[in-house]
Homo-oligomer: A and B are copies of this chain.
């Protein structure tokens, strides 16, 4: 039904500007209004463009950075998807974030000057690397870039706190529903289908992210399907009753 790598970015294979083309600049990038440059004018985007490094596409499992490494850059997902996770003392991985195209990651490393988690591609993905010391210098020259970055970090704080509230209060069913709705809303924001998408994570990764076991995640999917709220075909999810799912998730957005 879908070859590997088609999860999030692949549905756009017919576009003018290929999202994994390393030569596309920030001004041309179709994610322009989601990513860092959103509030910048053309001249400023060019300045930002010069400090952005665009590497070759990553394969599933490739790391953007690793927990404990010296912090150098933040990253913007251009296509595909990325997860971040912390490795506990016992070696267990705990997923802390899922990042889709247009989203920024790595900001947790700024304070301690080393990355506080590991980020790996969940599928074939391309990312922009933004060396932080250059971004800082540029932010002093372009106040609106500083403002944009303050806002981005604030967004991450808000997101994490929402997640924290959810994991510590909501039931398994509410958490799984909320995750599906979150992916749905982010797809919608990127002009993709909000009712049908490929899950970029395995059941185990979803469980780790939501504080559940993989068996519970699987059972909830089956239950939601039985209730007619979603259709599950392996990793392909179709939301049949968006409002019903929202009622179940008990979250504002």
In the bound assembly, the distance between CA atoms of A186 and B89 in angstroms comes to 22
> CB of A153 within 8 A of chain B?
yes
A136 → chain B closest CB, angstroms? 6
Residues of B within 8 A of A88 (CB): 165, 169, 250
Assess whether A1 is interfacial by the CB under 8 Å rule: no
Bound Cα distance from A92 to B166, whole angstroms: 13
| Cβ–Cβ contact A140 & B151, under 8 A | no
Instruction: Bits for A63-105, please: 1 = Cβ < 8 Å to B, else 0.
Output: 0000000000000000000000010110010101100000000
Give the oligomeric copy count: 2
Interface bits A136-163 vs B (CB < 8 Å: 1, else 0): 1101100100110111111111101111
Say yes or no for A111: interface residue by CB 8 A criterion.
yes
A140 to B140, CA, bound (A): 5
Is the CB–CB distance between A160 and B154 below 8 Å? no
Q: A153-B150, A158-B111 are in contact. Are A169 and B94 (CB under 8 A)?
A: yes
CA distance A111 to B149 in the complex (A): 9
Determine if B153 and A154 form an interchain contact, defined as CB atoms under 8 angstroms apart. Answer: yes
Residues A96 and B157 in contact, CB atoms below 8 Å apart: no
Q: A158 to chain B: which residues have CB within 8 Å? A: 108, 111-112, 116
Interface positions of A (Cβ within 8 A of B): 86, 88-89, 92, 94, 96-97, 107-112, 116-117, 136-137, 139-140, 143, 146-147, 149-158, 160-165, 167-169, 210-211, 250, 252
Name 8 A/B residue pairs within 8 A (Cβ), A-sorted. A94-B168, A107-B153, A110-B150, A139-B146, A153-B154, A157-B157, A164-B164, A164-B167
Further pairs besides A86-B161, A168-B168: 8, Cβ < 8 Å? A86-B165, A88-B169, A94-B169, A96-B164, A112-B154, A140-B140, A157-B160, A160-B164
